[in-house]
Structure 1
């Protein structure tokens, strides 16, 4: 495992963090508490020290499972928790709400579900255009100064929104989507964060399983699985992305003796990202963590990735389908 110190904070965290959306069950086909707890324990055993969750992941379920897992595991002082705020839900329908009143109520619910007195990193889950960003930032700054949260971050914000947010509060983290297939962050968000000392904790490193190295064209998605609604998983695009994944896997094996999964995560980290989120819901999925940290990519690797994507993905599409309604 590699670790990174976050500037202007007291946090040192693992460069791979465990994402727990799938563990919460919502849009991933249900939740298995014991399996989820075992997955979190397997990640911690592999050296992961940062667990990422959110209230909307299972409408509180993911936070509850994370809290139980950490209580059973012990060594709480060695583990950091990030969670989120500013998404409301009713009857399974999600909406954005970054008002101070919502934030002040929601932080208490998260602290209770997680069984902690302080949240290490507190993210605004999605920007809310109905509330001035300065107002949201001021509410989170009050939480930071009160000790209920240690660090503040934003997720899915663009640079202009971050700039407005920074006018009223300290901003330590930005959490955008980023992986070999979804690279919009490189244009503006990455240079903005580097210029202003905002740490990147990107999500979706495996692009919802497309970069796991285990997905084939016969894979079916049922129930509420979000990939039923993801345009990447509908033909003919699905075939394009699978073809690219196969070519990337061949390159990774030939050049580094690695499978696609560790190659994909290493690619994210070697782009200047401090922390890559890796989702999982079964303990066995944590086994490849150790394969990420004994090699580094070269200029030839980055050139090969660009070439393979250009050859195979002729109709690319981003992750915009995941955005909740304004």
Structure 2
């Protein structure tokens, strides 16, 4: 397993991290705790030592599952969680007031069964609270020894610039995969320039890049893919056509699956970590396929050509963003 150093952490992080949104159940068809714990254990056995979660994933449930799964193994694992979403009104809304952040910190420590969080990330920028105030609050937590490193998620460059005037940023978490590449415009170059590690989420684009989706795949309950414009029939065929061609490319050139190509492509973009979401152990079986090879420049160009040809009506991940708050 490839590893990367992140400022403030006691040891290097694996460049594949386990994402646990689906484990929380909310917007993924409900929880399955036994499979969730087995999935976390499988990830650790495969050399993954960074687990990313958030309070809003199942409204606390994902963090609770992570805490249970890591009992007896906590010292060997880095935990990244998030803060700044309030769901008390029935739907998540951005709230980064110091009082809210303090309450969330204590709640997360309790649910995760730990006395320190390795990477603490603002989940979504909250315009109603000055970014400088938010940064000062998280830096206070760091100086108290309750968190080790500060991260931001879904921030743009201007927001990071303001935040960094009051506290260091160790990581930034943007959506990033073969189909969602907006981070390349500014966020990833900024991170590279300033020594910030990118924990990129959505590596498999909600399963589109797993190679297992078809035109007939359906989603049950509150599964967010029922709302995702990529999965609507008007676009799904374009994305599946791209997946089919990418799979052929991966197998012909590397003897790999499209899933392996998608994750390896992220790792070959620089100082990146790919968040791999899973809720069943078998969904991690391909992890060993990612190591020991690289996507060369010629193949990168072939990938771009395939995407330009097949995805003629692209759409980003904006549908997932909670409503913005008004500037105070």
TM-score, normalised to structure 2, is 0.97
Residue 274 of structure 1 corresponds to which residue in structure 2? 272
1:315 to 302, 309, 313: 313
| Aligned ranges 1:232-271 → 2 under 5 Å | 232-271=230-269
Residue 214 of structure 1 corresponds to which residue in structure 2? 212
CA deviation map 1:86-143 (0-9, x unaligned): 0000353110001111001100000000000000000000000101100000000000
Structure 1 unaligned regions, length at least 5: none
| Aligned ranges 1:148-297 → 2 under 5 Å | 148-297=146-295
Residue 120 of structure 1 corresponds to which residue in structure 2? 118
Residue 141 of structure 1 corresponds to which residue in structure 2? 139
2:92 to 85, 91, 94: 94
Deviation for aligned residue 1:190: 0.9
Q: Which runs of 4+ in 1 moved over 3 A?
A: 7-11
User: How far apart in 2 are the matches of 1:249 and 1:90?
Assistant: 43
Residue 56 of structure 2 corresponds to which residue in structure 1? 56
Question: Does the CA contact (< 8 Å) of 1:16 and 1:276 recur in 2?
Answer: yes
Residue 45 of structure 1 corresponds to which residue in structure 2? 45
Deviation for aligned residue 1:222: 1.9
User: How far apart in 1 are the matches of 2:44 and 2:217?
Assistant: 30
The answer to whether residue 61 in structure 2 is matched with residue 69 in structure 1 is no
Question: Does the CA contact (< 8 Å) of 2:7 and 2:149 recur in 1?
Answer: no
Deviation for aligned residue 1:10: 3.5
Deviation for aligned residue 1:301: 1.1
CA deviation map 1:16-71 (0-9, x unaligned): 00000000000000001111000000000000000000000000000000000001
Alpha-carbon distance change, 45 to 9 in structure 1, aligned in 2, over 3 angstroms? closer
The answer to whether residue 66 in structure 2 is matched with residue 105 in structure 1 is no
Question: Does the CA contact (< 8 Å) of 2:94 and 2:322 recur in 1?
Answer: yes
CA deviation map 1:265-292 (0-9, x unaligned): 0000001142110000000011110000
Question: Does the CA contact (< 8 Å) of 1:266 and 1:297 recur in 2?
Answer: yes
Deviation for aligned residue 1:294: 1.8
User: How far apart in 1 are the matches of 2:90 and 2:218?
Assistant: 23
What is the CA RMSD across the aligned residues, in angstroms? 0.9
User: How far apart in 2 are the matches of 1:54 and 1:76?
Assistant: 17
Alpha-carbon distance change, 28 to 92 in structure 1, aligned in 2, over 3 angstroms? farther
Tell me whether 237-246 or 269-278 shows the greater mean CA deviation. 269-278
Question: Does the CA contact (< 8 Å) of 1:202 and 1:273 recur in 2?
Answer: no
Q: Secondary structure at the match of 1:68?
A: helix
TM-score, normalised to structure 1, is 0.98
Q: Secondary structure at the match of 1:117?
A: coil
User: How far apart in 1 are the matches of 2:57 and 2:6?
Assistant: 26
Deviation for aligned residue 1:78: 1.1
Question: Does the CA contact (< 8 Å) of 2:203 and 2:274 recur in 1?
Answer: yes
User: How far apart in 1 are the matches of 2:30 and 2:297?
Assistant: 41
Q: Secondary structure at the match of 1:182?
A: coil
User: How far apart in 1 are the matches of 2:99 and 2:208?
Assistant: 39
CA deviation map 1:130-157 (0-9, x unaligned): 0110000000000000000000000000
User: How far apart in 1 are the matches of 2:220 and 2:137?
Assistant: 40
Deviation for aligned residue 1:8: 5.6
